[in-house]
Amino acid sequence: MNSIWAVHFNSGSCNGCDIEILATLTPRYDVERFGIKLQGSPRHADVLIVTGPVTRQARERLIRTYEQMPEPKFVISVGSCSISGGVFEGCYNCVGSVDAVIPVDVFIPGCPPRPEAIIDGIVQLLTELKGGKARTPQKQNIAEEIST
């Protein structure tokens, strides 16, 4: 797994995480050197990066985007809001955390997490995968294992 193509979904975030995700593409952090690329179409993606507390309106779109991705696929939830709802906990239009909606493999806390933290999260996903590969050859199972 040296090639990670990610698709980014904002499910109601304040933009803080989103600009930090974009910052990882730019010269100072440049994730292309790890083979990580941000793709436009969910069909081309391996990893779904979700930011923000899931709002009621974004919920169905999030599920649809997730379902459009080909297997094997992984989900990274970035930022405090996407993990627990953060400051928006209890707001009337928020469903809450991302893992209430779709299975999540990696959580990256922070408000917003630094770009270094985001890169580290993706690297941790890769290490998990490499470690898991020996145990079970089927990658789908690993995704389920991690998420449970």
Partner 1 sequence: MNTFTSLITLLIFPAGLSLVLVGMFYEWVDRKLVARFQNRVGPRWFQPFADALKLFAKEQIRPAIVNPYLFFGLPVAALAGALTAALYVPLMGLSPASSFPGDLIVTIYLLSLPTMCVGLAGWNTSGRFSLIGATRTLTQLFAYEAPFLLAMLGPALVAGSWQINTINRFTQDHWLILTQPVGFIVALIGLMGKLELPPFDAPEAETEIVAGALTEYSGRGLAMFKISRSVELIIGLSLVSSFYLGGLNGIPSFLFKSLALLLVMSVLQVLLTRLRIDQTVGLWWRFGAILVLAQLLVMILWKGLAL
Partner 2 sequence: MNIEQLLAQAEQLLAPWNKETIHPESNRLDVVIIADDLRAAVNALHDAHWGYLSAITGLDLGPASAQMEALYHFCSGLAITSLRVRLPHDNASLPSIADILPPASFFEREMQEMLGFKFSGLNISERLFLPDDWPEDVYPMRANFTLDQAAPVAGRHADELPEQGVVGGNTFVIPIGPQHPALKEPGHFEFTVDGEIVTAARMRLGYAHRGIEKAAESRNWIQNLYLFERVCGICSHTHALAYSLGVEKLAQVEAPPRAQAIRELVAGLERVHSHLLWLGVAAHEAGFDTLFMYSWRDRETVMNLLEQITGNRVNYSANLLGGVKCDIGPEQAKAIKEGLNYLETRIRHYLEVVTTDVMFLNRTRGIGTISYDEAVKFGLLGPTARASGLVRDVRVEAPYGAYTHFPVSAVTETNGDLEARCEVRLKELLVSCFTMRTIVDNLPEGPLTVRMPRKIPAGETVSRIEAPRGELFYFIKSNGGETPARVHIRTPSLCNWVSVLEKAVGRQLADIPMLIAGMDPCFSCNDRVVTLKRPGSNENWSWKQLREYGIEYYKR
Give the interface with partner 2 as residue ranges (CB under 8 A).
7-20, 22-23, 25-28, 38-40, 42, 52-53, 55-61, 65, 81, 86-88, 90-94, 111-112, 114
Q: Is 118 exposed, middle or buried (0-12, 13-18, 19+ CB in 10 A)?
A: buried
Q: Which of 23, 72, 132, 147 binds partner 1 (CB under 8 A)?
A: 72
- Number of CB atoms found within 10 A of residue 111's CB: 12
Distance of closest approach, residue 4 Cβ to partner 1, in angstroms: 9
Distance of closest approach, residue 14 Cβ to partner 2, in angstroms: 4
144 near partner 1 (CB under 8 A): no
Q: Is the peptide bond before 112 cis (omega within 30 degrees of 0)?
A: yes
Residue 102 in contact with residue 75, Cβ under 8 Å? yes
103 near partner 1 (CB under 8 A): no
46 binds, options partner 2, partner 1, none, Cβ within 5 to 8 A by partner type = partner 1
What token pair was written down for 107? Answer: 């959580």
Query: Binding residues for partner 1, how many (CB under 8 A)?
Result: 20
- Say which residues have a Cβ less than 8 Å from residue 137's Cβ, sequence separation at least 6: none
- Say which residues have a Cβ less than 8 Å from residue 60's Cβ, sequence separation at least 6: none
127 near partner 1 (CB under 8 A): no
Short-list 20, 89, 80, 23, CA closest to 52: 80
- Window 27-66: contact mask with partner 1 (x via CB under 8 A): x--x-xx-x---xxx-xx-x--------------------
- Number of CB atoms found within 10 A of residue 32's CB: 11
Interacting residues toward partner 1 by CB under 8 A:
1-3, 5, 26-27, 30, 32-33, 35, 39-41, 43-44, 46, 68, 70-72
